[in-house]
Structure 1
C-alpha cells in the first residue's frame, strides 16, 4: 500500500503515528551520519597523534603536538601535562602535601578519561530509545488500524474484503514502518558500542603509558 495514500486517507491518530515514526527515523539517521563522521575523524586523528606523540624526541615537543592536535589522546596528554605542572607549582602547599604525585596524576587522568569516554557515547541513548520503542509505536498503529477495521465491519454489517482491506492494509504498513525505523537504530547502536569499546581500550592503554611517562618527567623537569 502506498504510504502517501495512508497518510492522505488515514484518521488523525494514524497520521500522527506515522508522523512520529518519520520524525524518529529522520533524527536517528542524523545521529547515525554524525556519529559515523565523528568516529572516522576521531580514529584518524587518534592514530596520527599517538604515532607522532611517541615519536617525539622530548616532552616539550610532545606537549606541542598535544596542543596542535584535536583528539581524545591529545586532550588527555594536555590534561596530564597541566596536572603535572600544577602539582609541581603547588607541591609546597597543602595540595602537594596531601597526596603524592602518583595519586594526583592518576586522579587527574582518570577524571579526564571518563569525560572523553562519555563524549564518545553521545547520541547512543537516542538510538537505543528508538530501537526499543519504534516497534511498539508501529504496533499501536497496527492496533488502531484493526480497530478501524472492526468499526467498518460493524457499520457495514458484513466482513467483506472491501470493508476491511483499507484499515488492515494501514495496520500492516504501520507494523512495517515501526520495524523500518527500529532496525537501523539497533544495528547502528550495536556498531557504535563496539567502536566506542575499541576507542576506550586504546585510550585506557594510552593513559597508562602517559601516566608512566609523566612520572619520568619529574626527574628531568617540566617547563
Structure 2
C-alpha cells in the first residue's frame, strides 16, 4: 500500500462503518416512521407501512449496541480526531489550514454527541405511542429534534472531512486493506494483555488526570447505560 494514501486503522473502519451503516438505516426509517404516523410538518407520499416503527427501532438498537465500543475507541485511540485542549484558541485562525483541521475535530465531536442524544431519546419512547396516535409526548419531540440535529451533524462531518482530506480521506474508510500491525490475528493477544493489565489495577489510572474529554466520555457512556436502565424502571 502506498504510504502517501490516507490510512485508517482497521478497527476504526469496522466500528465506524458498522455504526454508520445502522445509523443511516435508522435515519431513513425514522423519516418513514414520521411520514406514516405523523406528518404534521410536511410529508412525502411514502407507502403506509405500520411495521416501519419496529424496523426503525431495530436499526436504532443495533446502533446503540455498537456505539459504546466506538465511543471508547474514539476517545482513546482516536482522540486526536476530537476536540483538543487548544482547539478553541486555534479556531481564531479563521481560513488557515489549522482552522479547518480543528473545525473538523469539533464536527467529529458534535456528531458523537448528536448520536448520543438520538439513541437516548429513542430509548425513552414507548413503542405504542405512535400507533396509538399519542404524538405530544416530550420524548417524542426530543427524538424528532435529535434526528434533525443528527442529519445536520453527519452532513457537517462529511463536509469537513472532505475539506480536510478530500476524496482520498473519505475513500480510505471504505477499503479492506490493512497493515500488518492491524491484523485481526493480533487482536486476541492484545485483548488478553489489556485484560491482564486491568486485573493488575491499570484501571485506576484511566481517569487520571480528569480532563474535560474524559469527563465527556464518562458522561456519554453513563447516558448509554441509563438508556437501558431507565426504561426498565418505568
TM-score, structure 1 as length reference: 0.32
Higher helix fraction (1 or 2): 1
Q: TM-score when scaled to structure 2?
A: 0.31
Larger radius of gyration: 1
